[in-house]
């Protein structure tokens, strides 16, 4: 039986998940390419103070690697990174991983791919599995004079641990999940925090508790116990996701909760400034038990005037006021639409990824594209990712990809790609469903594509999982046999 040669690009959550799935299915001829020098993806890149995953840890983990040792209900970033590194180690992935090796290009050659890496080497593989993530390329705001700022400037996803915070006045630009976590953590540890807010956020309250030694011991002794919180959280998220994709009771309830939470801000003027003019969950919902407390502290200033420019001493807002700072943190998010870029990918008949995605990233069922045979994506365009754990999405998509590899091995085809018609139909159905989602109710967010529509799965994650775990419908695919010359 033929063994497919496989390249996985990226060793974050989805790359690790894919590699383990391959190994468990008996596919051993694969290489995991990672341009950095460690596993973890976004959990490796982000190391800012206060980084916590706002999805419960007992749900934000792989079902095949339940960790009994989570320290908290919501665990900190470094703990999640260590978990991912540990999963890779336990599954012996290091010997199959090439760190410090960026895949720069991939060209389809008729029944496989010529892959070029940053070391100038070209290698032929039968399948390319892209696990490159979407919160990967930091988005740097275009603020005039930023380069003239005399203090340290850093993007939240490139935290400079060489910069001493003690005694420093810190400015934070951005009020997404990152900015709010940063401000919550920095407040009280530095003399002054200045938060530059362009758009206020609704905040879902929560309580983060540590797991006791006894409970961790129980989870260790009876591994099956881990399934209880996993499935409990999954059920809770299934209810929550109803509010994301349909107007109705759940949406109204979440709105009521966040409005009530906002009432904990005592000063009416501050409360007014923190009140969004759009519905809760339209932007990715921020979950925090600390942000409102932090922002009410006397050493935290909320600035709502727009940023005009930066200069040597700090940031000047449109009212002409200079906010003197020592450190400026850009918590300004990511270019989430970049997906597999800057890799140069060329598919059938010389069609490039940039050409295929001229109107924005489009895929079939989140994992494949027409004209790019034998190329699969993990957590690709329109996968379900709003407040939903990517671990679960990656597990379901890996299973689908393994299914295709098995069929290749059985000789059913040499190359497979979805048809353009199936992809167009699929994307049209998603476009038609988009207006019911909360993401189109009147806010801007990184979820929205060029056409103003969300690049997210517009139904519940459960419905996606059912689809991706079902057998692919043959009419949706072009299956080809091996090109004669390669036999
Ligand atoms: P984000 O949600 O895209 O937020 C970026 C923030 O920067 C927004 O408040 C935005 O304002 C502001 N901004 C951007 N450019 C600006 C400019 N030129 N001037 C002023 N403000 C500007 O980014 P993020 O907070 O890094 O979060 C990105 C995603 O990462 C999240 O949505 C989430 O999926 C993930 N994340 C998850 C966790 C977790 O706990 N699981 C934690 C952190 C991040 P506007 O709103 O006006 O555009």
The pLDDT, as a whole number, for residue 337 is 87
Q: Who's near 444: CB < 8 A, 6+ residues apart?
A: 199, 283
Burial of 301 (0-12, 13-18, 19+ CB in 10 A): middle
Residue among 399, 212, 192 nearest 315 (CA): 192
Model confidence at 385, pLDDT cuts 50, 70, 90, reads confident
- 135-153 residue pLDDT tens: 989 999 999 999 999 999 9
Q: Is the pLDDT of residue 51 over 50?
A: yes
Gap from CA of 192 to ligand 1 centroid (Å): 21
At 257, list the tokens: 């909760």
Q: What six digits make up the tokens of 336? A: 């989430």
200 lines ligand 1 (CB under 6 A): no
Q: Given a cut of 60, is residue 166 above it in pLDDT?
A: yes
Among 178, 295, 391, 392, residue to substitute to test ligand 1 (most atoms within 8 Å of Cβ): 178
The tokens describing 242, both together, are 């109803």
State the helix-helix crossing angle for 227-245 and 461-469, rounded to 10 degrees. 110
Is the CB of 155 inside a 6 Å radius of any atom of ligand 1?
no
What tens digit of pLDDT does each residue of 432-459 get?
A: 999 999 999 999 999 999 899 999 999 9
Structure tokens at 215: 């409970």
Tell me which residue has tokens 């940023």.
307
For ligand 1, say whether the CB of 47 is within 6 Å of any of its atoms. Answer: no
What is the predicted pLDDT for the residue at 154? 98
Q: Looking at the predicted structure, is the pLDDT value of residue 485 above 60?
A: no
Q: Does pLDDT of 183 surpass 90?
A: yes
| pLDDT of the residue at 61 | 98
Ligand 1 mean position, distance from CA 390 (Å):
18
391 lines ligand 1 (CB under 6 A): no
Tokens describing residue 158: 């490139």
Query: 280 in ligand 1 pocket by Cβ < 6 Å?
Result: no
Q: What is the mean pLDDT of the chain?
A: 96
Q: Find out whether the peptide bond into 342 is cis, omega within 30 degrees of 0.
A: yes
pLDDT at residue number 481 = 83
Cβ atoms of 197 and 270 closer than 8 Å: no
380, 172 in Cβ contact below 8 A? no
Among 59, 173, 174, 310, residue to substitute to test ligand 1 (most atoms within 8 Å of Cβ) = 174
- Provide the token pair at 211: 């797991």
Average pLDDT rounded to a whole number, residues 287-300: 97
Q: 330 C-alpha to center of ligand 1: Å? A: 9
* Contact between 193 and 302 (Cβ < 8 Å): no
Whole-number percent of the chain with pLDDT over 70 = 99
Pocket test for ligand 1, best of 50, 54, 155, 177 (most atoms within 8 A of CB): 177
Residue 82 CA to ligand 1 center (angstroms) comes to 24
Query: Tell me, what's the pLDDT at 338?
Result: 86
CB-based contact 372:354 (threshold 8 Å): no
Question: What is the rounded distance in angstroms from the CA atom of residue 269 to the CA atom of residue 271?
Answer: 5
* Atom of ligand 1 minimally distant from the CA of 387: 34
The reported pLDDT for the residue numbered 486 is 44
The closest residue, in CA terms, to atom 2 on ligand 1 is 176
- Ligand 1 midpoint to CA 125 (Å): 37
pLDDT of residue 193: 98
pLDDT tens profile 216-264: 999 999 999 999 999 999 999 999 999 999 999 999 999 999 999 999 9
* Angstrom distance (rounded) from CA 21 to CA 167: 48
Of ligand 1's listed atoms, the one at least distance from the Cα of 143 is 18
Contact status, residue 307 vs residue 149, Cβ threshold 8 Å: no
Is the pLDDT score of 487 beyond 60? no
Q: For position 362, what pLDDT does the model report? A: 94
Q: Sort strands 192-196 and 169-173 into parallel, antiparallel or unpaired.
A: parallel
Confidence band (pLDDT; 50, 70, 90) for 483?
A: low
What is the Å distance from ligand 1's center to 316 Cα?
A: 21
Which residue has its alpha carbon closest to ligand 1 atom 14?
A: 332
Average pLDDT estimate for 310-329? 98
- Give yes or no for residue 331 CB within 6 A of ligand 1: yes
Residue 159 has pLDDT above 50, yes or no: yes
**pLDDT confidence bin for 386, thresholds 50/70/90:** confident
pLDDT in tens, 65-79: 999 999 999 999 999
Taking residues 6-17, what's their average pLDDT? 98
When pLDDT is averaged across residues 119-135 and rounded to a whole number, the result is 96
* Residue nearest (by alpha carbon) to ligand 1 atom 26: 333
Structure tokens at 466: 């059912």
Q: Does the Cβ of 307 fall within 6 Å of ligand 1?
A: yes
Cβ–Cβ under 8 Å, residues 128 and 18 = no
Q: What is the 3-state secondary structure (H, E, C) of the chain?
A: CCCCCEEEECCCHHHHHHHHHHHHCCCCCEEEECCCCCCCCHHHHCCCCCCECCCCCCCCCCCCCCCCCCCECCCEHHHHHHHHHHHHHHCCCHHHEECCCCEEEEEECCCCEEEEECCCCEEEECEEEECCCCCCCECCCCCCCHHHCCCEEEEHHHCCCCCCCCCCEEEEECCCHHHHHHHHHHECCECEEEEECCCCCCEECCCCCECCHHHHHHHHHCHHHHHHHHHHHHHHHHHHHHHHHCCCHHHHHHHHHHHHHHCCCCCHHHHHHCCCCCCCCCCCCEECCCHHHHHCCCCEEEECCCEEEEECCEEEECCCCEEECCEEEECCCECCCCCCCCCEEECHHHCEHHHHCCCCCCCECCCECCCCCCEEECCCCCCCCCCCCHHHHHHHHHHHHHHHHHHHHCCCCCEEEECHHHHHHHHHHHHHHHHHCHHHCCCCCCCECCCCCECCCCCCHHHHHHHHHCCCCHHHEEEECCCHHHC
Distance, CA 28 to ligand 1 centroid (Å)?
Answer: 39
């Amino acid at each position: 039986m033929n063994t497919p040669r496989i390249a996985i690009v990226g060793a974050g959550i989805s790359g690790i998940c894919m590699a383990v799935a391959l190994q468990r299915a008996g596919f051993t001829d694969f290489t995991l390419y990672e341009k950095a020098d460690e596993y973890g993806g976004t959990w490796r890149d982000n190391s800012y103070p206060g980084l916590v995953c706002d999805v419960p840890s007992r749900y934000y983990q792989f079902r095949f690697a339940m960790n009994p040792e989570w320290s908290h209900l919501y665990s900190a970033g470094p703990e999640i990174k260590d978990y991912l590194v540990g999963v890779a180690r336990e599954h012996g992935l290091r010997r199959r991983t090439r760190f410090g090796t960026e895949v720069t290009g991939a060209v389809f050659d008729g029944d496989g791919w010529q892959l070029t890496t940053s070391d100038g080497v070209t290698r032929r593989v039968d399948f390319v599995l892209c696990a490159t993530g979407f919160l990967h390329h930091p988005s740097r705001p275009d603020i005039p004079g930023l380069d003239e700022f005399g203090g340290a400037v850093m993007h939240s996803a490139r935290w400079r641990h060489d910069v001493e915070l003690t005694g420093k006045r810190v400015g934070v630009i951005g009020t997404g999940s990152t900015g709010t976590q940063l401000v919550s953590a920095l407040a009280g540890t530095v003399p002054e925090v200045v938060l530059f807010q362009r758009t206020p956020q609704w905040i879902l309250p929560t309580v983060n508790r540590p797991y006791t030694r006894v409970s961790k011991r129980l989870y260790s002794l009876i591994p099956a116990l881990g399934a209880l919180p996993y499935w409990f959280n999954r059920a809770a998220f299934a209810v929550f996701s109803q509010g994301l994709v349909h107007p109705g009771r759940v949406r109204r309830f979440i709105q009521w909760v966040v409005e009530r939470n906002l009432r904990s801000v005592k000063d009416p003027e501050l409360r007014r400034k923190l009140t969004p003019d759009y519905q809760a969950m339209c932007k990715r919902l921020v979950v925090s038990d600390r942000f409102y407390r932090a922002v009410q502290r006397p050493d935290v200033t909320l600035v709502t005037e727009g940023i005009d420019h930066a200069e040597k001493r700090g940031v000047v807002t449109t009212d002409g006021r200079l906010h003197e700072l020592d450190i400026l943190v850009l918590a300004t998010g990511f270019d989430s639409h970049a997906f597999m870029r800057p890799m140069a990918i060329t598919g059938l008949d010389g069609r490039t990824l940039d050409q295929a995605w001229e109107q924005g990233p489009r895929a079939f069922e989140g994992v494949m594209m027409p004209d790019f045979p034998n190329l699969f994506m993990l957590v690709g365009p329109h996968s379900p990712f709003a407040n939903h754990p990517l671990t679960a999405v990656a597990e379901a998509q890996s299973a689908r990809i393994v299914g295709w590899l098995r069929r290749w091995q059985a000789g059913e085809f040499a190359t497979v790609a979805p048809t353009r018609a199936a992809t167009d139909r699929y994307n049209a159905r998603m476009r038609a469903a988009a207006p019911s989602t909360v993401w189109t109710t009147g806010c801007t967010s990184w979820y929205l594509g060029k056409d103003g529509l969300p690049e997210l799965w517009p139904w519940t994650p459960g419905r996606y999982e059912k689809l991706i775990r079902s057998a692919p419908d043959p009419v949706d695919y072009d299956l080809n046999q091996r090109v004669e010359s390669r036999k």
